[in-house]
Amino acid sequence: MRVYVYPGSFDPVTNGHVDIIKRAALLCDKLIVAVLINSSKKPTFTLEERVKLLHCALADVPNVEIESFSGLLIDFMKKKNATVIIKGLRAVSDFEYELQMALLNKNLDPNIETLFMMASINYSFLSSSSVKELARHKGNIEGLVPDCIIDEVMKKFNE
């Protein structure tokens, strides 16, 4: 069974993430969307909220599982018998950082591959940070995040 992992903070999940997830899911038997618990970051959405938003956004993708993890991605990969890390790239600036991470992971476990997927042109400008900034100022986030989470995202910033 080909098990791939798409790690991220998903704070919140965007249509760019969903696009990468749906395309990556076609390449494997099971895709684990791994929500990172990063103690050095203070996410806007709680871990539970991020997982819930992902479940809503990915309800129609049958071979996707959503899990959270902390610690080293390589350790999580081994635990899940996963062999490929999926990373989405929007621009050259993403590539430099992601290449360093891929080489570090390859050094930790030579059996793990990193597969880079280019963002669709429609989403190459999109980030969770830009969605949060728009929502914070009551801007329109339609088309940037899945329809089923728009109200939750807007509510978070307008409480």
Q: Is residue 40 annotated as involved in ligand binding?
A: no
Q: Write down the domain spans for the chain.
A: 3-124
What is 3-124's CATH number? 3.40.50.620
89 is in an annotated binding site: yes
Q: Is 50 among the catalytic positions?
A: no
Q: What are the residues whose beta carbons fall under 8 Å from the beta carbon of 70, sequence distance 6 or more?
A: 36, 37, 38, 39
**90 is annotated as an active-site residue:** yes
N-to-C CA span, the chain: 44
Average pLDDT, the chain: 95
**Catalytic-role residue among 90, 106, 120, 130:** 90
The pair of three-digit structure tokens given for residue 24, joined into one six-digit string: 């990556």
Q: What phi and psi values does residue 30 have, to the nearest 5 degrees?
A: -140, 130
Q: Is 97 annotated as a binding residue?
A: no
Q: Can you list the alpha helix ranges (DSSP code H) found in the chain? A: 15-25, 47-57, 73-79, 92-108, 128-136, 150-157
What pLDDT was estimated at residue 60?
A: 95
Is 41 annotated as catalytic?
yes
Extract the tokens encoding 69.
Answer: 């993890």
Q: What is the value of pTM for the model shown?
A: 0.95
Q: Check 41, 42, 93, 137 and give the catalytic one.
A: 41
Q: Is 55 annotated as a binding residue?
A: no
* 70 among annotated binding-site residues: no
Q: What pLDDT digit, counting tens, does each position of 77-100 carry? A: 999 999 999 999 998 778 989 999
C-beta contacts of 130-133 below 8 A and 24+ residues apart:
131/12, 131/14, 132/11, 132/12, 132/44, 132/157
Name 33's bridge partners.
6, 66
Examine the residue annotation and report whether 17 is marked as an active-site residue of this protein.
Answer: yes
CA atoms within 13 A on the CB side of 97: 7
Q: Tell whether 10 is in a known binding site.
A: yes
In percent, the amount of the chain with pLDDT more than 90 equals: 89
* 8 Å CB contact between 76 and 108: no
86, 119 contact by CB (below 8 A): no
100 is written with which tokens?
A: 């360093």
* pLDDT greater at residue 21 or residue 40: 21
